[in-house]
Amino acid sequence: MKHLVIITICFLSLCFTKVCAQISVDSVKTTFKNYSKDNPKATTNNIKAYWHALPISIKKDSSIAAHRDYAIGMNFYYQRNPDSSYYYFNRAGKNLIFKEDPFLVNEALILKAMIKNIYGESEVVQKTLDSASANFNTVDSVPYTLRVNLNRAYGAFYTTNNEQEKAIDHLIKALELTETGEPNPRAEASIKQNLGELFLNLNDIPKARSYFLLVQEEALANDIPRYYHSATLKLADLIESKDEISEKTVNDLNEAMAFFKDLGDKGRIVEAHNYLGQIYKLTGNNDIAMSNFKQGLILSEEMQFPSGIINLAKNLGLMNLSLNRLEEAEQNFETARKFVYSHGNVESQIEIEQALAETLEKQGKLSQAYPFLKAAIKKTDSLNKAKTTATVQELETAYQTKEKEQQIALLTSENELAEQQKRNQRNILWAVLSIVGIVGVFLFFYYRNRQRVHQKLKELDAAKSSFFANISHEFRTPLTLVKGPISEQLEKDQLTPTERKKMQIAHKNVGRVQNLVEEMLALSKLESGHYQLHVAEGYISTFMKAQAQAFEFLAEEKKIHWEVNIPETKNQYWFDRDAVEKITTNLFSNAIKYTPANEKVRIIGSHTNHTYTLDIINTGVKLSAKDRKNIFERFYQNHPDNPGSGIGLALSRELSQLHKGTLELIHSENEENHFRLTLGVAKELFTTAELATKRTEIEHANVVIAHQPSDTENLLQPSTKEDVPQLLLIDDNKDVLNYITLLFQDSYNVRTANNGEEGYKSALEHIPDLIISDVMMPFLDGYELTKKLKEEELTAHIPLILVTAKTEDEDKLTGSKLGADAYVTKPFNSTLLQATVQNLLENRKRLQNRYSKTIILSPKEISVSTAEEKFLERMQKALDKNIQEPTFTPETFSKEIGVSRMQLHRKLKALTGLTTTEFIMNQRVKLAASLLKKRSISVSEVAYEVGFNNPSYFSKCFKDVYGISPSNVKKSSETL
């Protein structure tokens, strides 16, 4: 028994010793793994010092030595020392046994492949990565981090080989894998950085910028300065013009350089020098730019960093070439050329060869320049062929890519459904447990009683809101029945002046009641919580200025000095156009209503990052203390004789609060009333439901423009879009013209004119598809312009919209009699104006279809003006006279009618949707169809009779128009 106890004790001691040894080995491995991370303390000296301090018994373990080599290799990898890192990774792989540590073995393989990828050894890289991938099948489970790194390595490999789409697929897969495991901000930031670089290579600047900004945002949130500064370098690479450079840009780059110098990352230092050189070059600081390029080149040559040598030597050469330092430029390009053939892509080779050829040519070394120029041309041709082939392959794989996306979406939805079911089960379990307790039962009944009371209050509130809404709706029908007869009476000429004045008073008050009804409806929506903001990004200063300018006419009529000081904003802000329009219309109309003649109204705009402020200050009669206290109360009126209902300011304040802002009356010592409107305009202030969708943005006509010009003049230059309707905008007020241009420039080809005379000339020259004109203008007002355009044959067909502050029915009637197609009053609803333009253009399209379906142009069968009828008759006569002549061309056609070829082209395009050549060909084909139906003659005879020289070409044109060959016309039962 005694011997048995001794043996047991010895056995337990031996086990304890092995366990302690294993614990010690595991802790050492963990330490080396920590050293292998992107850690400033993980220097080679620190790792070696830690190794020397270990006991000899642990050093004998080959796996420990492998972990040491792996950590040192990672240290050199982060310092951009590929040769040293590859050496240590290779040593680590030899000392490791795959079954004992498959993770480290494969990690070493992947990193070796990435290093070889730097030197462009494609076959070695492919083989190494495939080997790592094959290892995954020999173990039960593979850590997600290893799969992430493998996909990242494949992404780098395909990027080097210009297979960008495959690279993107692997990197996106890597990004998705990071979401399946523990949060790894470093890996996510690195992958997004790689994606940004890929999209930069594909010249997709917006996507590239969005990924680099995401990297910066996540790096700041997770305290990863390396990735923040790396993204700063990449964002600098996107700068293309001097206007994009700010003091912050230079400061950020200098901070990045200082960071990478402290870290000892020479590769990033080279990049910083390169980008600083480019920025100083753009700003004209050539000496500083040259200094940065030279420092970067020297460092690249010390590192033997091929891509850095190529880029910096090329940039130095280009600078010396621009400064006519030809010998230095030649040396720089020769330096770049030594490396570009082995480490640069074809585009870089072409660029350097062309630059070197230009440098040699300027030195008179033509015989030396010729081979480089010839090589560049040959490579350019080969590159273009390769791109064409790649495009064909992309089209072939498009369908397969779409199917993959659908499968991914299906799997994602299935996973979400499974997660939702799990959550539902947990919620049910907790609900059952809570009901079991006495306290839970008591709280349940208490809560239920509270809910009943709350529900009753909601029902009462809803009933009140419903009552106001129903009453408001009921008012609309009788108001329409009252307004209609009054409008009819005002159109009669037999009314006496007194009768007409009474009718006008009645008509004006009907309008006031209608406005009151709309305000009551808006209030009922606000009370019931049904009023929904639809905010979208736009230039709020431009919008505010246009709203203010619309009231200038009313201010002039009342002899009020109307002063608008709203500076333009460079940035876009988020706001609801409809809600802001309601608020400003109330405030501006009140300012005019309660300001006496010869007094002043000032409107001042300002903004911060999160708010926009509008101050409306009017002089004259100052509000009393009682009025100031109650001014925002509903239905409040300071005197029974004052016009208005007392709803407007209450509605405006509630709308401003809904818009995350305020409306208040500011105390002033002077004899003036000062209203201040503050609106929240930052995106983060609004909920997802309040952010407008694309459809909502269009419906509410919020001004969402991708780029705002630096001044009004640049914005009003003609657009260069083709195959879209042309609009001509005419207004002598530049701000209003600017605003209307913003509304239409994304969907139409917009031209502008500053007065009626200029607009008339532009209409004759360009024959636009639609004209929007102000009425009150110098040289030629809107009414005279309408009359002249409608009497002119070339422009009689053009739809014309008059936009003006004149709101009387007589003014509208004058415009209609002169031929205006629509009349929109200021302040106008931009949605209504856009819809009016679209409807008028649709009507013109229907007219085009009618014209294009007939051989004989019969204007009397279609509603057109007298001038347009004359033009069509002259055009028909020219066709009848010349259509059988093969020499009848667009030039002949335009001379016969007496207009220029461009005018005829625009006129025919507007009437039929066809160019002049297409129109002549269509008319010939339609005449041929008629002849084939009526007469028994051959196809060739018909072709020659209608002006075709080639029967085969005639048959092709005929089939393009009717879908059948001319020889089958007799057999076909279809109506042509």
Residue 497: pLDDT band with limits 50, 70, 90: confident
Number of Cα atoms under 13 Å in the Cβ half of residue 118: 18
Is residue 10 assigned to a domain? no
pLDDT band at 772 (very low <50, low <70, confident <90, very high): very high
More confident residue, 344 or 713: 344
575 and 655 inside one domain:
yes
Identity of the residue numbered 959: K
Tell me the C-alpha distance between 664 and 674, whole Å.
9
Give backbone dihedrals phi and psi of 751, rounded to 5 degrees, phi first. -120, 155
Could you give the count of Cα atoms lying within 13 Å of 480 in the half-sphere of its Cβ?
6
Q: Of the residues 632, 667, 685, which one is the last residue of a structural domain?
A: 685
DSSP class per residue in 670-686: SSEEEEEEEEE--GGGS
Give the ranges where 767-889 is alpha helix by DSSP (H).
782-791, 809-818, 830-852, 866-882
Q: Residue 728 — pLDDT band, cuts 50, 70, 90?
A: very high
Looking up residue 872, the CATH number of its domain turns out to be 1.10.10.60
Tokens, residue 727:
């609009």
**CATH number of the domain to which 813 belongs:** 3.40.50.2300
pLDDT in tens, 432-471: 777 777 777 777 777 887 787 777 766 666 666 565 555 5
Residues 751 and 667 in one domain: no
Q: Are residues 830 and 738 in the same domain?
A: yes
743 C-beta neighbours (distance < 10 Å), count: 23
Q: Is 934 inside any structural domain?
A: yes
Q: How many CB atoms lie within 10 A of CB 540?
A: 25
Across 350-370, average pLDDT: 85
Could you write out the DSSP letters of every residue in 362-380? HTT-HHHHHHHHHHHHHHH
pLDDT higher than threshold 50 for residue 714: no
Q: Are residues 808 and 953 in the same domain?
A: no
Do both 457 and 541 map to the same domain? no
858-876, pLDDT tens digit by residue? Answer: 444 444 456 666 777 777 7
Q: Residue 901 sits in which domain range? A: 866-968
Q: Are 700 and 829 a contacting pair, CB within 8 Å?
A: no
306-322 and 346-362 helices cross at what angle (nearest 10)? 30
| pLDDT averaged over every residue in the chain | 76
Number of other CB atoms surrounding residue 457 within 10 Å: 10
Most confident of 382-391, 595-604, 868-877, 930-939: 595-604
pLDDT digits (tens, 9 = 90+) for 9-19: 444 444 433 43
Residues 514 and 548 in one domain: no
Would you say residue 561 has pLDDT above 90? yes
Q: Higher model confidence: residue 290 or residue 940?
A: 290
Question: 238-242, 341-345, 382-386, 702-706: lowest mean pLDDT where?
Answer: 702-706
The answer to whether residue 98 is domain-embedded is no
Is 653 found in the same domain as 780? no
Q: What is the pLDDT of residue 55?
A: 82
Note whether 136 and 151 are within 8 A (CB). Answer: no
Select the more confidently predicted residue: 738 or 6.
738
**Element at 33 (helix H, strand E):** helix 2-35
Look at residue 139 and tell me if it is in a domain: no
Query: For residue range 77-88, what is the model confidence (pLDDT) as tens digits?
Result: 666 666 776 777
How many helices (H) and strands (E) would you count in the chain?
Answer: 39, 12
- Residue 177 included in any domain: no
> What global pTM score does this model have?
0.36
Judgement on whether residues 527 and 540 belong to the same structural domain of the protein: no
Distances (CA, A) of 653 to 184, 536, 664, 676: 47, 21, 8, 11
Q: Report the DSSP pairing between strands 749-753 and 726-730.
A: parallel
Does 484 have pLDDT greater than 70?
A: no
Are 507 and 491 in contact by the 8 Å Cβ rule? The answer is no
* Residue among 278, 282, 264, 360 nearest 311 (CA): 278
Domain end, chosen from 800, 824, 850, is at 850
Q: Are residues 626 and 644 in the same domain?
A: yes
Say yes or no: 396 and 438 in one domain.
Answer: yes
How large is the average pLDDT for residues 478-486?
67
- The pLDDT value given to residue 267: 81
Largest separation between any pair of C-alpha atoms in the chain = 137
Same domain as 511, residue 391: yes
User: What local confidence, expressed as pLDDT, does residue 18 receive?
Assistant: 40
Q: Nearest to residue 583, comparing CAs of 667, 684, 672, 676?
A: 676
Residues 335, 323: Cα–Cα separation, whole Å? 19
Domain membership of residue 804 (yes or no) is yes
Whether the link from the prior residue into 827 is cis, omega within 30° of 0, is yes
More confident residue, 271 or 344: 271
Which of the four pLDDT bands, split at 50, 70 and 90, describes residue 748? very high
Using 50, 70 and 90 to split pLDDT, how confident is the model at 141?
low
Tell me, what CATH number does 646's domain have? 3.30.565.10
Q: What is the pLDDT of residue 334?
A: 86
Q: Is residue 344 part of a domain?
A: no
Number of domains in the chain: 4
The pLDDT tens digits for 186-197 are 778 888 888 888
Same domain? 517 vs 370: yes
Cα–Cα distance measured from residue 511 to residue 807, given in angstroms and rounded to the nearest whole number: 11
Q: Per-residue pLDDT for 148 more than 90? A: no
| Residues written for the chain | 976
Residue 305 or 363, more confident: 363
> Does some domain include residue 762?
yes
Q: To which H or E segment does residue 195 belong?
A: helix 185-201
Residue 664's pLDDT band, with cuts at 50, 70 and 90, is very high
**pLDDT at position 823:** 86
Question: Does pLDDT of 741 surpass 60?
Answer: yes
